[in-house]
Amino acid sequence: MDASARAMVEAIHTNPTQAVLYLSGGASQALGWLMSVPGASNTVLEAVVPYSRMSMIQLLGKVPGKFASRQTAEDMALMAYNRALKLSQPGFPVLGVGFTGSLTSTRPKLGDHRFHVSTRTANQLWASTVTLSKGLRTREQEDRVSSLFVLKAIAYASKVPTTFVSELIDSEVPEEFEMQFNEDQELEQLINGQICFKVYPFLSDMPRAERKIILSGSFNPLHDGHLKLLEVTTSILGEGYPCFELSAVNADKPPLTVSQIKERVRQFEKVGKTVIISNQPYFYKKAELFPGSAFVIGVDTAARLINPKYYGGDYGRMLETLCGCKSTGCLFLVGGRNIDGDFKVLEDFDIPEELKDMFIPIPAEKFRMDISSTEIRKNQGIL
């Protein structure tokens, strides 16, 4: 790695953007450069090399039209972006990088030597195709050129100022494509499942904590009970990133509209609290989205979670599903609630032995809030 490439990597590592990289068919030196310069953990969340045909098919969940194409690079970048969302700390910008190439190999190629790079951020898709001159470079040299291009793509997507020397000749002109997304378009992509969630990091003092402490709900409206419950839970755990989570997709109702989501998000902006908008209404799916997290729930929700009725009446299926949640490292912190006029706590319910250490009670003396969002709406004449 020469001085200019090292300077570019150093600049990337000083930026808060956290990235997942999926690289196939080249650009191997880029990964080595990123990892060899101190500060790599600031940037690289994960790097995967889906080199074989089956590896690429399993990564994308489909057989691509062409393994080395701009579309495949874009698909890889989107997959990497969603993976980065799951691995990153809330509030940090994330980046997905996809690369696929057809470079010099042991056998002469009939087609062009080319590579495709794509990056995906919250509000931008960028892609570029470079066709290399055949016979001009060795495999190692082509890999170097493509690796420099990947670093340039990361720097550009992260808004890192660099002096980039491409090492391309005049005839090797990149074919670039760029698309910007506004907030409405990003939320539409979330609703239709293209992206898995969106973070609104309104928390003014963002703790550097890997574990998320998540209070899920519809927040229609957000009220003091929600705020107090998350505050108490954070104090019980001692550390973690407290945030609220709203699913745009409901199991029993139509999805929220973009305007409804934005209206509810404004509530969190007013109180300076982070909120995550997801597209998963079920806790076993939330556990996959937010592995290792602590979910804050009411005892009424806990009762539904352990009730076989919600699993087709199958106790074994209930146990298997919740053990799956447990295997992700998730916890459920359970607050007492009024149920049919009686205040119930976790100890009033029979938790299966295999799951007991996953459910943690919130003592009633630390938190008790008897009013719900439904009651607030009734009192306001909204229902």
The pLDDT of residue 166 is 83
Report the C-alpha gap between 188 and 184 in whole angstroms: 6
30-42 pLDDT, tens digit each: 999 999 999 999 9
State the pLDDT confidence band at 317, using cuts at 50, 70 and 90.
Answer: very high
Mean pLDDT of 132-148: 95
Q: For the CA atoms of the chain, what is the radius of gyration?
A: 24
The pLDDT of residue 125 is 98
The pLDDT of residue 14 is 96
Secondary structure (DSSP) of 267-315: HHHHHT--EEEES--SHHHHHHHSTT-EEEEEHHHHHHHT-GGGGTT-H
247-259 pLDDT, tens digit each: 999 877 899 999 9
Report the C-alpha gap between 128 and 2 in whole angstroms: 24
The pLDDT of residue 376 is 47
The pLDDT of residue 111 is 84
The pLDDT of residue 48 is 97
10-26 pLDDT, tens digit each: 999 999 999 999 999 99
The pLDDT of residue 381 is 55
Domains of the chain with CATH codes: 3-180 (3.90.950.20), 185-379 (3.40.50)
The pLDDT of residue 374 is 56
Mean pLDDT of 315-340: 94
Q: Can you tell me whether residue 99 is helix, strand or coil? A: strand
Least confident of 25-34, 209-218, 288-297: 209-218
73-124 pLDDT, tens digit each: 999 999 999 999 999 988 789 999 999 999 988 777 778 999 999 999 999 9
Mean pLDDT of 143-165: 93
165 Rama sector, left if φ>0, alpha if ψ -120 to 50, beta otherwise: beta
Report the C-alpha gap between 371 and 297 in whole angstroms: 15
Q: Looking at the predicted structure, is the pLDDT value of residue 371 above 70?
A: no
**Residue 355 has what DSSP assignment?**
G
165-200 pLDDT, tens digit each: 889 999 999 999 999 999 999 999 999 999 999 999
Element (H, E) at 113: strand 113-120
Secondary structure (DSSP) of 189-218: HHHTTSSSEEEE---SS----SSEEEEE--
Q: What residues contact residue 283 under an 8 Å CB cut-off, 6+ apart?
A: 216, 295, 297, 305, 325, 332
The pLDDT of residue 383 is 54
Q: Looking at the predicted structure, is the pLDDT value of residue 377 above 60?
A: no
Residue 292's closest CA among 214, 351, 194, 349? 214
Report the C-alpha gap between 87 and 61 in whole angstroms: 20
User: Would strands 337-339 and 175-180 be described as parallel, antiparallel, or unpaired?
Assistant: unpaired
Of 28 and 162, the structure prediction assigns the larger pLDDT to 28
pLDDT, mean over the chain? 92
The pLDDT of residue 162 is 83
State the pLDDT confidence band at 66, using cuts at 50, 70 and 90.
Answer: very high
pTM here is 0.90
